[in-house]
Amino acid sequence: MEVLTDKVKIYAKKFKEFDSRIIEGVGVCYRHSPTFRAHVNSPHFGETRGWRITWLWTPHVKQYPILKFVGPLDLGLYSVRIDGILGQTDISKFVAEARTISMFQEYITATAEFIAELLHNGDNSWIHVNGSSVEPALLLCEEYSSTFRAIRENGRPNGWDIVKLWTNNPEEITALQEIFPLDIGIYCVRLDSIIQGIELTDFGKQLEELPAFKLFPREVMRFILQILSKRF
């Protein structure tokens, strides 16, 4: 756990402060997800490669210190979901343990606060994006992520059971499902960029040209609102 703490402190330097409470949540993801372990243990951990994708939300990431409670928990949660899809972990066992840890509930609250701050600041160019085919975006994610290629070729059900972390009725949460598996593709690219040391400069330029990527932050906003209305 000491090594994990040291690694997450590297991540936290982006916000010039570190809150040790996040370690408990990250630790559960680390135990249950081989993908997240590979991500954290990579010599590239703490580099800004995958961080470029956060520009889908805002180019002013450092203005939002609340993100210290969002990342790297979002990477951990998606790692568990990805490994569940690939049959490399049992999401139900993860959920059973994670439900006992308050940090995962704070993650939802922190994400809601981040979105509220974006809207207040007018930092929300993504909110009015019209529906667009996600297939070109999926193909771009496949190009940059071997993990996503494996999911597209061999993936099992969509790992939606992870939503049971916040509600007993995950079928009532419809946000993100409309763009699936684009959200998975985005996180596969983020994770593989660190695990494999992949440069994402060209990827970042190309995603700006594909409106479908802007659907992701809007769907996350819908997801958070739905969870807040349904969670325990």
Question: For position 1, what pLDDT does the model report?
Answer: 63
Structural domain that includes position 119? 2-230
Number of domains in the chain: 1
pLDDT of residue 5: 77
pTM assigned to the model: 0.93
Which residue has better confidence, 197 or 9?
197
Whether the link from the prior residue into 181 is cis, omega within 30° of 0, is yes
Q: What is the mean pLDDT of residues 26-32?
A: 95
Dist CA 219 CA 103 (whole Å): 22
Average pLDDT across the chain, whole number: 89
Q: Is 232 helix (H, G, I), strand (E, B) or coil?
A: coil
The whole-angstrom separation of Cα 107 and Cα 86 is 25
Selection from 49-63, 118-132, 192-206 with the highest mean pLDDT: 192-206
pLDDT of residue 74 exceeding 70, the answer is yes
For residues 141-161, give the mean pLDDT: 93
pLDDT tens digits, 163-188: 999 999 999 999 999 899 999 999 99
Q: What are phi and psi of 26, to 5 degrees?
A: -60, -35
Instruction: State the Cα torsion 159-182-14-91 to the nearest 10°.
Output: 0
**Average of pLDDT values for 95-108?**
95
| pLDDT tens for each residue of 45-61 | 877 666 667 777 888 88
